[in-house]
Structures are given as structure tokens and as C-alpha cells.
Amino acid sequence: MVNLALVEQCLWDPEDVRILVVEDDAAIATPLVSGLGRNGFDATHVTSGSEALARVEVADLVLLDLGLPDLDGAEVCRRLRARSSVPIIVVSARSEEVDRVLLLEMGADDYVVKPFGLRELVARIRAVSRRSSGTEPAASHLDLGPLVIDRRTHEVHADGRLVDLTPKEFDLLAHLASDPGAAHPRRDILEEVWDANWYGSSKTLDVHVASLRRKLGHPEWIQAVRGVGFKLVVSPA
């Protein structure tokens, strides 16, 4: 019998992932950094939003608390995303759906509610890192006529115009474009683009679809399939 855990360990090297832990509470940060270290990650701790913004260039992934002393975590998330495509996992005690949807819309890649287990957090770090590093097999360049998607550069062009997308919006569009015209079930989209253990409301998917339609300038390209999910139908220019 194949040991799947061993296979994953061979394919996954956590030492390659430098994690920036943005948390002002030492009672949380100290054991978190220690636990990440035991799991092989190179974790660095900062206590403020300004420090996070100053050090993001040397991080492969950011764990971001929202209750920071100098800047609200949502504002830090917005600024991080404006200057970098680094994966961001929000770690917060705010458990309301509106908070999760807001941060995901602002560019966060995942949202974990405190208190959380270290094993769950490590699993989420691995999932987000795999998606962002492009280890999941897919065509690097998708040319659908007026819509061109480049996975290698994370660039999207619609009608020859560069479209500014958040990482999550890009992943959603790339997922739909992986099989143009096919109906993609909502649950499959959430598991593939967000996380296999996603437990939040599926409304976050609708929020991202609405944003994609607006940014692409062709709302008709992303069509709802009643009782199923969504499909991408790009008409020739």
C-alpha cells in the first residue's frame, strides 16, 4: 500500500517556505512560531502592520492577524496585495461571515478563525502554497480569443487590455478556463480555488464572480448554471 503521507512529504519541502507571522500577541505568536518551526517552516515574527509591509519582500507567505496596534489588519491586507502577490492567510478571532468575505475580496487567500489547531493551519499553509507555486498541473497559457490567461506570469488580458485581478480572482478564472463551456459545480470550485476543507458560506464565490464579471468587462462570459454552478463561455471577438 502506498503511504500517501510519505509521498506528500517527499514532494513537499516546508523549508522552502518563509512565513511572516504578523501578530501582536506574544502569547499566540511565540507558540505559533515554535510550532511552525517544528514542522520545518522558516517563520519570522513581527508585531505591527508597518513591519509586515516593510518585510513582505522576503516572505513566501504571510499569516496576518487583524487586530494590530498601528494599522487595521484589513488595511494591511489591502496594501500587501497592492504591492505583492505573496499568499496571505488571515488568522483572526473575527468569525462573522462579512469579515471573511471582506478579507477574501481584498485579496486574502484563506481565512482561519481563532482558536485553531496547528495541524489545520499547517494543512492550509500547504494548500495555499501549492496553489500559489503552480505545482498543480495546468496549461501555462490559455488563449480563448479575446481572453488570454497566462498562469506563469499571473496576467490576464481581455480584448487586449491587461486586467488587474486579485490572486483569488485569477485562480477562479483560471479554474473556469481550464474547461471552457463546461459547468463547474459550486462545491468543486470552492474546494479547488479556496480549500478542500472550506466551511464558510458559498456567497464568497458569488462575490468573486461578480467582481470578475465587472473587471473583465464582459459579464456574459461567466454564466450561472442553475442548480450547478458556473461556466466560462467566451464569444469570439
Cell of 212: 470578475
d(CA 202, CA 151): 25
Spell out the domain ranges in the chain: 4-133, 141-232
Contacts of 79 by beta carbon, 8 Å cutoff, 6+ apart: 49, 53
> Is the full-model pTM beyond 0.85?
no
Sheet of 141-143: strand order equals: 141-143, 147-150, 155-158, 161-163
**Is the distance from CB of 66 to CB of 94 less than 8 angstroms?**
yes
Coil, strand, or helix at residue 169? helix
- pLDDT block averages, 10 residues each, the chain of length 237: 39 69 94 93 95 92 95 92 89 87 87 88 86 57 89 88 91 91 90 66 84 95 94 84
Q: Helices marked H in 14-151 — which ranges? A: 26-38, 49-55, 73-83, 97-105, 118-133
Identify the CA nearest to 39 among candidates 64, 20, 19, 14.
14
Is residue 115 reached through a cis peptide bond, with omega within 30 degrees of 0 on the bond before it? yes
- What is the structure's pLDDT at 9? 42
Query: What was the pLDDT predicted at 124?
Result: 87
Query: Would you state the cell numbers that stand for residue 43, as one nine-digit string?
Result: 517563520
Query: What does the buried/exposed string (b/e) look like for 36-53 if buried means 16 or more CB atoms within 10 Å of the residue's CB?
Result: beebebebbbbbbbebbb
Cell reading at 198? 472550506
Instruction: Name the class of domain 141-232.
Output: mainly alpha
The pLDDT value recorded for residue 13 is 52
The pair phi, psi for residue 207, each rounded to 5°, is: -60, -45
Give 100's contacts (C-beta < 8 A, 6+ positions apart). Answer: 111, 200, 201, 204
Residue 237 confidence (pLDDT): 58
Q: Check: CB of residue 211 under 8 Å from CB of residue 222.
A: no
Task: Let me know: does 171 contact 128? Beta carbons within 8 Å.
Answer: no
Stated as kind and residue range, the H or E segment containing 6 is helix 4-11
Measured in Å, how far apart are the chain's first and last C-alpha atoms?
Answer: 52
DSSP 145: S
Closest CA to 88 of 73, 109, 105: 109
CATH superfamily of 4-133: Response regulator (3.40.50.2300)
pLDDT score recorded for residue 7: 36
Contact 56, 86 (CB under 8 A): yes
